[in-house]
Structure 1
Amino acid sequence: MTILNETYTLSNGVEIPKLGLGTWFIDDDKTAQAVRDAVVIGYRNIDTAQAYGNERGVGEGVRTAGVPRSELFVSTKLAAEIKDYDQAVAAIDGSLTAMGLEYVDLMLVHSPQPWDDFRGGDYAEGNRQAWRALEEAHKAGKLRSIGVSNFLQEDLENILQAATVVPHVNQLLAHVGNTPGELIAYCGGKGILVEAYSPIAHGQMLKNADVRAMAEEYGVSVPQLCIRYTLQLGTVSLPKTANPEHMRSNAAVDFVISEADMAALRGLKAQDYGEHSEFPVYSGK
């Protein structure tokens, strides 16, 4: 599982493992064990958020994982509702306290809009205020790198107007069936690394006959094909699971998808998230 040893280098020189463990939907009381299991398997990139309600568990897992803190890359996210400098400053410190960590490796603005107004109103000034708080925490050494999530090009351009630090990362919904190619290319041109969350489309790709057929051709599972696809896009892949067997399987992606098949997967449109469409990021806005 060599992918667990591979990294990208952010624009500030910080290395980030190419494959990470997403923790959305993992209960706080189960998260520490999930982190410890992942670390034993070889994962070194752990992703959480204030909104997930499991920062405490992630921090416990990191502190009790049995490897030096410096070997782990820990990310969290500023709640989407925080569009104010003072609240952002307090929330950054709140995450560090909740996790029991002196620093985190990456902190993101979770969304350019609050979840109850996703892709809605104008929060340009609020995002600039939140970004200023992240920049100051980065300068102070509390955050080794900073970035955004769910930001479109216009959202990034708004940040860049006043930024002293260009976002190191933009974490996006990116998977087979939903490949935001233009946005990934724009980020690449600005030196912003893209992270792909929900690389298996919150499980919906398991039902896709075309993807299943291609996975069979490669002799791999649908999740393995989907994770490999996001890696070959040049993104960090963040599949989420608390199951150690799934963690192992998700990391067994040392195969290569052909250029022709990558093109076919890029062109696939599959954005029906079923019961999960209630979540703003899957709502199609």
Structure 2
Amino acid sequence: MENNHDLGFQKFIRGIILVGFTLLLFKLILTGDITNFIAPKMLPFVYFAAAVFLILGILQIWRSDSKKELDIYCDCGLDHSGKSSPIKSLAIYSVFLFPVLTGFMFPEVVLDSSVIKNRGINLGTASVQAEQTETTESSAETKTEKTTATQEAKSADDMYLEGLLNSDKIVVTDAEYSKITNYIEMNLDKFEGKEIELVGFVYREPDYKQDEMAISRFTVSCCVADLQVMGTLATGEAAKNLKNDEWIKVTGTITKTTRNEQELPLIDIGNIEKIEAPSDPYIYVF
């Protein structure tokens, strides 16, 4: 009977942990802080996980009060009583309780430039786009269809490029951040001299000059585990007084520079405006 009581208590604790994870997910969803950890496209999976955790948690709590005894009969000669050390059980359940408790106790923190010291910053984005859009031919039957699709994509790309080149000022929005910066980098000669408006936070490498900085953004594909830092170089006298992590809106002219034997866009700063950090500072790459 004592073993059944221990087993019932353990089921109760498991149920509490599952319900705790459910409440933590609900809290993040209701406050909107969930997007500090995952991309919006992953939200349906979070909803599903929260529902499953809630159901399993309720079942575990309900079963913990069951009066039925579990008897195991076999001739193996081993003890199936399931006895375990209280300290061992506490250590195991603490592993699961800790993230639940800290999730409620501590506020969610948006990443800042300190992350770049470990992850590095990508000043060139064309290679990233190439990896994401690269396709392979799998069979002779689909070759024609893929060729047609490629031609249509190129036509759409040409139209988009023409639209950017014909605009008086290129305004880089969050929704098209990766797309626009990729087009500029891959067609840098065509964009030289164009006016551009860009929002991001300030970051400087140790070897940057006083009037140099990278206008940076965090990009997320699935969750913060695959987070990357994208930056566009900028230079100008107005950059000297800016500190890392300050959010700015920069208007300037696109020029080019060479860094690590790679040609990169460089913004010749015309105007800088300090702004508040956006409520959702990440760029989501789909």
Give the TM-score range, shorter chain: under 0.3
TM-score w.r.t. structure 1 length? 0.20
Larger Rg: 2
TM-score w.r.t. structure 2 length? 0.20
More strand by share: 2
